[in-house]
Amino acid sequence: MTNIKILWGIIILLLVLSGFLINKFVSGEVTPSEDGRTNVVMTKDERNLILDEMRAFLVSVQAVSQAITENDLDKVADLAHKAGMAAEEGTPGALLQKIPLGMKKLGFGTRDKFDEISATAKTTKDPLVLRKQLDALMQNCIACHAIYRLPEPH
């Protein structure tokens, strides 16, 4: 009988801990912002890493856009692939815990869209299709900036 009580205690403890971790993964570390967006709270180094990633997205979008304009579809495929999920390898797991689920979806969705552009560039000869995909990708960037904010750490 005592073993069953201990087992149930362990099960309950694991469920509570799992619930906490799931909640942390979904909600991240956030506070309300004065401008109606959500502040994502992180350290200076974490914030700088995210800002660097955003600048890299912007540089990639411009480079892909230019390659589309030049009708250099091999270059489009290469640039988009480099900005896709292949670029996600170095992101620290601890940082992902601080980012709310909605922001994660937009970030990973943007990487997926880069991968889709890369795949399309290998199979199509129509730059207009790629331009439309790039426009859709930019909607992720706009949505993220409209919803989230990265305040300076105190």
Q: Which domains does the chain have, with CATH numbers?
A: 29-149 (1.20.120)
* Rg, C-alpha atoms of the chain: 20
pLDDT at 25: 47
pLDDT at 39: 97
Provide the β-strand partners of residue 38: 32, 148
| Residues of the chain with confidence (pLDDT) below 70 | 1, 7-9, 11-27
Answer yes or no: pTM beyond 0.85. Answer: no
Residues 6+ apart with CB under 8 A from 107: 53, 99, 144
pLDDT at 74: 97
Alpha-carbon distance of 67 to 70, in angstroms, equals 5
Assign 40 to helix, strand or coil. Answer: strand
